[in-house]
Amino acid sequence: MVTRLDHLVILVRDLEEAVEDYGGLGFRVTPGGEHADGLTRNALVPFRDGAYLELVSFIDPEDGRDNVWGWREFLPHEGLVDYCAASDGLREDVERLRGLGFEVDGPHDGGRRLPGGEEIRWRSASIGQNGRVLPFLIEDVTPRERRVPGGRAADHPNGATGIPRLEISAPDTHKASATLAALTGAPPSPLKLGTCELILTQRGGEPVAGPTTVTLSTDASESVGELNRGSARGVRFALSPEAEG
């Protein structure tokens, strides 16, 4: 079953510069390592709600090879290019989605070598579509806490605690809503991926249909507001007061 928002993918040209800029925005950034395909490496911004931001760059910008998710096609542009949903039974989800008429590529084995040398493993699957309205899926093979750090790594100076809302640009919001509801197995209103509400919009000027704007919850009232898009590599971030539960 598709259970939750796993992470957002932010493609950058220079990982070190992006890490510095995100640190300047008040995030604690954790080195991620190099992916098993040898094409990309990343750094993570994990949150207390379990979701995270992935800052990812291609190791060799001159290498024409692309990864399994097709992110090289977005270069030289930077920004929010994709998002991922967690599955607790990927093979079953793939068969279910194919039975509903989705074109699904995978599952594929994947992994990453952490800076300390430890290797983590997962499986992923991508759904055939125009744009990135639908997330790709991931299921951990090694324990998720090895892939996504918690504790102090999820404590940020700007107080960010999670991703309660994600806006997604789609040419046909009604069709996208029905498709996402079928993917998640959840009601279309309100449309949610775990605890993250998905808001479908027809925002003009977006180069590719897909995720556009991220609302982050924060427990620091002084941090409420929009973050600098230049430092965020073009991503629209809004910090909103954390809802009281």
pLDDT for residue 69 is more than 60 = yes
The lowest-confidence range among 173-187, 197-211, 217-231 is: 197-211
The lowest-confidence range among 56-60, 106-110, 176-180, 205-209 is: 205-209
pLDDT for residue 167 is more than 60 = yes
Average pLDDT over every residue of 37-47: 96
pLDDT for residue 137 is more than 50 = yes
pLDDT score of 244: 46
**CATH code for the domain defined by 156-241:** 3.10.180.10
The whole-chain average pLDDT of the chain stands at 93
pLDDT score of 245: 38
pLDDT score of 222: 84
pLDDT score of 34: 96
Percent of residues, the chain, with pLDDT higher than 90: 84
What are the residue boundaries of the structural domains of the chain, listed by start?
2-151, 156-241
Average pLDDT over every residue of 47-57: 97
pLDDT for residue 29 is more than 50 = yes
pLDDT for residue 13 is more than 70 = yes
* CATH superfamily name and code, 2-151: 2,3-Dihydroxybiphenyl 1,2-Dioxygenase, domain 1 (3.10.180.10)
Structure tokens at 203: 């925002």
**Same fold? 2-151, 156-241:** yes
